Amino acid sequence: MTRPTQAPRRSDFEIDTTDFKSETVAIIGYGSQGRAHAMNLKDSGCKVIVGVRAGGTGAQRAAQDGLTTAEPADAAKQADIVMILTPDMTHEEIFREQIAPNLEAGNALMFAHGFSVHFGRVQPAADIDVMLVAPKGPGDLVRREFERGRGVPCLFAVHQDATGKARERALAYTSCIGGANSGVIETSFAEETETDLFGEQAVLCGGATELVLAGYETLTEAGYQPEVAYFECLHELKLIVDLLYEGGLGKMHEFISETAIYGDLRSGPRVINDETRARMREVLKDIQDGTFARDWITENQAGKPQYAALLRKDLEHPIEKTGAQLRADMPWLQPGANAH
């Protein structure tokens, strides 16, 4: 895997958006990221067209937001730069049937995640630029921070530079969605894809949820009340994560008790130990050698039966029933409440 020798921050880049704003950008898909990218680009003075199915929810919402819409194939035909922001498993078909036939030499193809290109599901022609711009946050945050005059940090990478201006285009795109306001790091498709998948599986989603469930089960099996176990192992997790997000380990240690700090330092390594790290390396190896990608593609081709069964098992865990009952008495967590 090739990596940049250094990860430059925003201050190391000179970003000129003049040429970029003369080009037309097609945003394919109008979900959370699609809407954020399209709206931010539009508000930055870019020419934007949204590629969505006519009559669908995305088309209706994009029109309500004042954006020009077209079928994905037509949007690609009109555009100089095409950003695909639909789910990973849709990329291959969308690219093959609607995007590729409508790209011309000198156009650019972009992604917010390198999965499809890195694992060979999408193989663009040699005469177009291929880049990624990956905001490190969900779409609603990308939009919200932009509206506040700020931005969400972004990774960017160039996979293929056919025109000699792929990097310039990627940086301009990053700037126009607000990323340059908070930080830009150059990476590669391989590094972005593999670290993103690993983070999701080993820490952010898989690791964190399994740790929560194991803690809840340990306490309830020992006879403690499910409600108390829920608060200690799930509800209060947000308080700690917020401190880590805002100031790393230093801020967390500053705002928790000395008893909590001592327990952290003494017992944390007993739970997350050399065996855990060995399992993490196994997860990373599965990602790096393509095992995870092959399994996920096969699972989709089979109609996702294992996915559905595992998800159902997760959602039927006793912690979900306990949590739903407790959250019902927390009005600030109800739909429509301002939880931020």
Q: Which residues form the catalytic set?
A: 113
Q: What is the DSSP code string of 275-302? A: HHHHHHHHHHHHHHTTHHHHHHHHHHHT
β-strands 154-160, 108-111 pairing: unpaired
φ, ψ at 46 (rounded to 5°): -90, 160
Buried-exposed string 9-27: b where 16+ CB fall within 10 A, e elsewhere: ebeeeebebeebeebebbb
Give the DSSP H/E element, type plus range, for residue 45.
none
The Cα–Cα gap between 313 and 307 comes to 10
267, 269, 271, 274: CA torsion to nearest 10? -160
CA dihedral 255, 260, 266, 270 (to 10 degrees): -100
Q: How far apart are the C-alpha atoms of 73 and 141, rounded to whole Å?
A: 29
Distance CA 19, CA 173 (A): 11
